[in-house]
Structure 1
Amino acid sequence: MEDLIPIADLFEAHLTVSELDRAVAFYKDVLGLPLARLFPDRKVAFFWIGAPRRAMLGLWEAGTMPMSISLHVAFQVVLSDLHEAPSRLQKAGIQPRDLAGLPTDEPVVLAWMPAAAVYFRDPDNNLLEFITMLPDPPEPDLGVLSWSDWIRRKTTAV
């Protein structure tokens, strides 16, 4: 199939843990993974694997993952391919989705990293993600926004 999105690497994996605090201590203190971000209210933690911004592990306390999100695997792609992903997925009969699980025709930006992403499901309903780290500084207060809103913010801030 010539319209494939080239996958550069595995970027992210997620695990369910019984106690987030205990798991954070283990992955940080025993395995030595640097903590990328802790969301205590959501009971989720993200760790960098290797160099920061190269790969990530997400830990979710059991029962705290929002219904729209499931444990998933994220594949690293280049930004130009990420922008093509929604149309290419649609051509293959696959609905691209945003972080809330709603249909979309553009990437979303996870501003705390920041990274741009497109979500979709495989034939067994597993959640998959194409993701690209962005060179911009993190803006955690922005949460998650559409690519067009991210660009609009950047161009109006200049």
Structure 2
Amino acid sequence: MIKGLYEAHLPVRNLAKSIEFYKKLELELAYQTDKLAFFWLEKGRSWLGLWETEKAETPYHPSLRHIAFHVSIEDLRNAKDWLETRGVAGRTAFGFSPEQQPLILPNNPHAHAAIYFHDPDGNSLELIAPLRLDVEEEFEIMSLDEWDRKHSQR
């Protein structure tokens, strides 16, 4: 029955400023009103809604004001440069500085690589790529560089 996630929403203080930011991330504007904009993540499959509201002041928590965008591992390896050319700074996550990212999340039995940054309203954004699924292997969180070194020795 369920085929995927069609939409997610974030609160923003200034819709025009947020529209410019998400366009820098190469998302296509799909629909806009005075206080709402939707961007296609995958055209016809999923989109992100931005709502101009005073609720943008709601304190961040991982269950609130967070979106993770699925990318390929190849794109993730270039994500720091890609973000930098768009004027988007990385942020520290799980004790790892932007310079140490992408990092590997040990969600055993899965592993994902991710890089973290904020939008203009402090909403938490993530670029994430699955590395492996359904493989039991305990490990600590590490950088993608460390993961590559560890797995090239096998």
1:110 partnered with 2:105? yes
Question: How many residues align structurally?
Answer: 99
Q: Distance in 1 between matches of 2:121 and 2:101?
A: 23
1:143 partnered with 2:140? yes
1:81 partnered with 2:75? yes
One-letter amino acid of the structure 1 residue matched with residue 142 of structure 2: L
- Judging changes above 3 Å, is the alpha-carbon distance between structure 1 residues 127 and 138 closer, same or farther for their aligned structure 2 residues? farther
Q: Percent identity?
A: 31
Q: Contact conserved, 1:98 with 1:107, CA < 8 A, in 2?
A: no
Instruction: Report the equivalent of 2:84.
Output: 90
Residues 102-121 of structure 1 deviation map (CA, whole Å, 9 limit, x = unaligned)? 22264111122200101100
Return the TM-score normalized by structure 2.
0.52
Return the TM-score normalized by structure 1.
0.51
One-letter amino acid of the structure 1 residue matched with residue 149 of structure 2: R
Q: Contact conserved, 1:4 with 1:88, CA < 8 A, in 2?
A: no
- Judging changes above 3 Å, is the alpha-carbon distance between structure 1 residues 82 and 4 closer, same or farther for their aligned structure 2 residues? farther
For residue 97 of structure 1, give the secondary structure of its aligned residue in structure 2: coil
Q: CA deviation at 1:87?
A: 0.7
- Bigger-Rg structure (1/2): 2
Q: CA deviation at 1:138?
A: 4.4
Instruction: Map 1:61-80 to 2 at 5 A.
Output: 71=64, 72-80=66-74
1:133 partnered with 2:134? no
